[in-house]
Amino acid sequence: MRMLHGSCGDGAARLRSVVSRLRSSDVWFGAFIVFCVLVVALGLAGGLLYAIVVWPWAGLYVVAPAGVLFAWSLLIAARIRNRWADWGMW
């Protein structure tokens, strides 16, 4: 019978490797930071959606400029990254 992930003893070593990585405080701190940022981002997105539902003009005066600024910053970041790649900095 063919094993999917290598020999029989390989699974135990892999499990020990994963468990040892999870014991690192850096992993837990990073997960905590990502979780907090996601909670804040979802709260802001929900607040914007609520504002648009309650006051439809908010979409025109708040969300649309924020979307335009985000698209503009993404375009500028892509251009900077490409220029750095041309210079060999990336």
For CA atoms 65, 67, 69, 71, give the dihedral sign.
Answer: negative
- Is it the case that residue 7 has pLDDT exceeding 70? no
Write the DSSP symbol of residue 7: S
Tell me which of 71 and 62 has the higher pLDDT: 71
Listed by start position, the domains of the chain span: 1-54, 56-90
Residue-wise pLDDT tens digits, 32-55: 999 999 999 999 999 988 988 999
3-state SS, residue 35: helix
Distance CA 77, CA 83 (A): 10
CB-based burial label for 58 (10 Å; 0-12, 13-18, 19+): middle
pTM here is 0.52
